[in-house]
Structure 1
Amino acid sequence: MRLKRIWTIHISTLITMIIWAAMDPLFPTMVQRYAWAGPAEAVGWIRWGGLASLVVIAATSLAAVLMTRTQRWRVGLRQSSLRRLLAITTVIALWCGLVIHHESIAWQGKRVRFAWRIDELEAIVAPLRNQWPERDGELPATGPFMAYPFGRPTTLVLLQSPALASQHVYVSAIERCDDGAIKLQLTGTDGGDWAEWHPPHSRPISFVGGLADPHQLRTATAIGSGWYLVRYDA
């Protein structure tokens, strides 16, 4: 019974860590190598404390499981030793997978969050599909902006970045492509990437912005209704 309780604690810790990786925009920052040496204020002391607590609980419970199994094997309880060894190996493999693929898990979590924000993104982009500005101006959904390059602008630099309803994401600039695609550059806690609307037969690709800034496509994921969540290497 005691061993079963330890297993329950350990598996619960693993599941909690996976859910956290998917739901918290700052989780990748915490586990990146430079973050460990940086100030905790970058992600918050509560997050650091929570992460440290989960790591300690996971390590302690796994060590307890291994010690208990070793003791039982020594006294000759080998009937289900292969099954027990497989269970321990599977759990260790899951932890290794979490460490190696935490960015992919975080990306899929972000994809789900932005799938719920399509209506907010549409409110910004819809007026621009019909009439793209030809000079500096102001729009209800975006506020004041500056249009670049002069004469035939393809980039709107927003002077007051509008926030999505979550208040964790802001739109800092908007790009328009020759095929009609409209790209929103995202900033904020859950920003750092692009939300893009593409017409049929158009897909995210590498591009050079209106300010002559190159963007090399790293990954793109459809989130519905012609929208994509996109990450570029600048």
Structure 2
Amino acid sequence: MEREHQSREVSRRRGRVLWSLHLIAMASMFAWASFDLRFESMVQSLGTALTSPLTSLQATVATVGLARTAVFSGFLFVALLTLGLLIAERFRSTRASHSRSLRSLMAIVSVVAIWCSLSVNYSALAWQGNRIRMATQLDELEAITEPLRQDWPQRDGEVAQIGPFMAYPFGRPSVLVLLASPTLANDHLSIAAIERNHQGAIKLQLNGTDHDDWAEWHPAGSQPESFVGGLSDPHELESSARLGQGWSLVRYRSE
């Protein structure tokens, strides 16, 4: 009887350790998807891992680097291993009470459902993480655009907040191509170009994301919409999210 009690206690402890490791891996994945700008491209590169594992791995390393790929693979391995052990533990514990067995089964089903949700919605999660990141940069965005709202450049030049730039098209410029891109969000993002439309909206093209993302300030009566840039480059609106103070994070469909 005592030996059986000890065996159950060991099983419970093992289960708690496995659940802890699994939930840590899951939480880490959710946080990573929310705050790493390269998470989407990494997952997409690994999309063919089942059919062409070596090719997929090489493509992922080339896209996001060895460190990211190794850490992601490590988290994924821990998640799969602990989930497999939890399932095995569930079916091995034949003497567990019915209620405990049912709770264990429901917990495993819930975890699998959460992983499925992450695999389907990781892009939306990354978008919301990017929105939060940009919302914390409003003061910096205002400092960059305020001089441009007051006095839009008419020729090539330099502005303290953005450095040197080239203005296009000649004569009536609507886009500034920056020669030294200022950085945002702790250097994870930079500004490649700045557009101004006929309504006075200021649009900052962001570098460092996997999409055609822009931070845009719009005056009253203006809102994000599809447009053709000053370099005759078309941008078709995909989605937008308000940041406050007239600012929006805008995504256009990539070519």
Q: Are 1:22 and 1:105, in contact at CA under 8 Å, matched by a contact in 2?
A: yes
Structure 1: runs of 5+ lacking an equivalent:
none
Change (3 A) 1:9 1:205: same
Change (3 A) 1:37 1:190: closer
Q: How much identity, in percent, do the aligned residues show? A: 47
**What's the secondary structure of 2:200's corresponding residue?**
coil
Give the TM-score taking structure 2 as reference length: 0.84
| 1:10 pairs with 2:22 | yes
Count of residues paired in the alignment: 233
Match of 1:44 among 39, 62, 65: 65
For residues 60 and 226 of structure 2, the distance between their equivalents in structure 1, rounded to whole angstroms, comes to 34
Of 190-199 and 93-102, more deviation after overlay is shown by 190-199
- The root-mean-square deviation of aligned C-alpha atoms, in Å, is 2.0
Change (3 A) 1:165 1:6: closer
Of 160-169 and 11-20, more deviation after overlay is shown by 160-169
- Once the two structures are superposed, what CA deviation does each residue of 1:137-168 show, in whole Å capped at 9, x if it has no partner? 22111222222222222111122222236222
Q: CA deviation at 1:48?
A: 1.2
Amino acid at match of 2:30: I
Q: Are 1:169 and 1:190, in contact at CA under 8 Å, matched by a contact in 2?
A: no
Change (3 A) 1:83 1:154: same
- Once the two structures are superposed, what CA deviation does each residue of 1:21-52 show, in whole Å capped at 9, x if it has no partner? 11111111210136645151432222111111
**What's the secondary structure of 1:212's corresponding residue?**
coil
Give the TM-score taking structure 1 as reference length: 0.91
Q: CA deviation at 1:93?
A: 0.5
Q: Are 1:30 and 1:36, in contact at CA under 8 Å, matched by a contact in 2?
A: no
Q: Tell me which residue corresponds to 1:141.
A: 161
Q: CA deviation at 1:86?
A: 1.8
Q: CA deviation at 1:196?
A: 0.5
Structure 2: runs of 5+ lacking an equivalent:
1-12, 47-55
Change (3 A) 1:137 1:79: closer
Which structure has the greater CA radius of gyration?
Answer: 2
